[in-house]
Amino acid sequence: MSLQSQLEQLKEESLEKITASDNLGSLNDLRVNLLGKKGPITEVLRGMKDLSNEERPKVGSFANIIKNQLQQSIDEKKVLLEQKKLQEEIAAESIDITLPGKKITAGTSHILTQVMEEIEDVFIGMGYQIIEGREVESDHYNFERMNLPKDHPARDMQDTFYISEDILVRTHTSPVQARTMEQHDFSKGALKMISPGKVFRRDTDDATHSHQFHQIEGLVVDKGITMADLKGTLEAVMKKMFGENRSIRLRPSYFPFTEPSVEVDVSCFKCGGKGCNVCKYTGWIEILGAGMVHPKVLAMSGIDPDVYTGFAFGLGPDRVAMLRYGVNDIRNFYLNDVRFLGQFQTKE
């Protein structure tokens, strides 16, 4: 067989192999085998030495043409195989959006947070500002400015955890009253604020007492504020929170920082006042302490009690939440058991 026909045959066989190659690795092996120094074309060309001077350049250029054809065919095949590989990778990475998604269990805000935010919303609607107090307080603001001097017997009911002799964790949110009053500029209008937050007492924990619980302090100071404003405000708030049919009653009480002082009861939202286990068969539920701000407390904050008067109240949202949701032990709020907390889904 002439060298030319050998080369022709080699070309046909090689082209078939290139066409059959189905991945980039085998194509590269093929390239090295066919076109490399030890490849069959080079082998065939070794026979050129026996050719005549006329034949040799013809066969030489024919061999080069074949080499170029094979190289071109390999290059084209390479492009095809690269595209194929890319398609396969894209197909492997594609997401089937028709598959049902995995359900993500969303958390909820803590039930006490929900109750406090609901109460805040009611007061914001009535034009109150929300004031953030501090949990670590001084004896001065927690007691003295609330008209509870060092030897006052009412301090016994609010013993707490002391950080130093004068620094403690607050026993009630009332110190926020003093801090807010001394800052307030009455030329800009009345002072109307509530302050929700954590408080601490050296109470023995039981079903209705926790050593850490929450309060919402309320304070309104302006010229001409009376007990009627206190009553009207609290009645409106209780109706918003517990239903339009609720009424409230005020019973005389004592707090060193208010004069006169009252305990405020709301008519039972479960039985409507007839008597049931929620209201302990009295028809009323005690909900907060309140009163007219003591003139001494106003004066200690730099406010003239002959010109300004005010009312204040302190509400326990933990107890509100217990009553509302029939929770029989306050400690459930603080154990962080999701089986309990998960029952109170956040309202949208």
Binding residue (CB under 6 A) for ligand FA5 from 172, 184, 192, 294: 172
Residues 272 to 291: which contact ligand FA5 by CB under 6 A?
Answer: 288-291
Q: Which is nearer to ligand FA5, 192 or 319 (CB)?
A: 319
Binding region for ligand FA5 (CB under 6 A) out of 6-14, 54-62, 210-218, 224-232: 210-218
Cis peptide before 305 (omega within 30 of 0): no
Question: Would you count residue 333 as binding ligand FA5 (CB under 6 A)?
Answer: no
Question: Would you count residue 314 as binding ligand FA5 (CB under 6 A)?
Answer: yes
CA distance 137 to 38: 91
CA distance 236 to 127: 13
Per-residue contact flags (x/-) with ligand FA5 for residues 118 to 157, judged by CB under 6 A: ----------------------------------------
Question: Would you count residue 11 as binding ligand FA5 (CB under 6 A)?
Answer: no
Q: Is 272 left (phi over 0), alpha (psi -120 to 50) or beta?
A: left
The residue nearest ligand FA5 at its CB is 316
Helix axes 317-325, 111-125, angle to 10 degrees: 110
Cross-strand bridge partners of residue 2: none
Residue 182 CB, nearest distance to ligand FA5 (Å)?
17
Question: Would you count residue 195 as binding ligand FA5 (CB under 6 A)?
Answer: no
Tokens read off for 216: 């919402």
Question: Would you count residue 310 as binding ligand FA5 (CB under 6 A)?
Answer: no
Tokens read off for 93: 């990475």
What one-letter code names the amino acid at 335?
Answer: L
Q: Which is nearer to ligand FA5, 59 or 303 (CB)?
A: 303
Q: Which is nearer to ligand FA5, 56 or 249 (CB)?
A: 249
Q: In sequence order, what are the residues at sequence separation of 6 or more whose Cβ sits closer than 8 angstroms to the Cβ of residue 336?
A: none
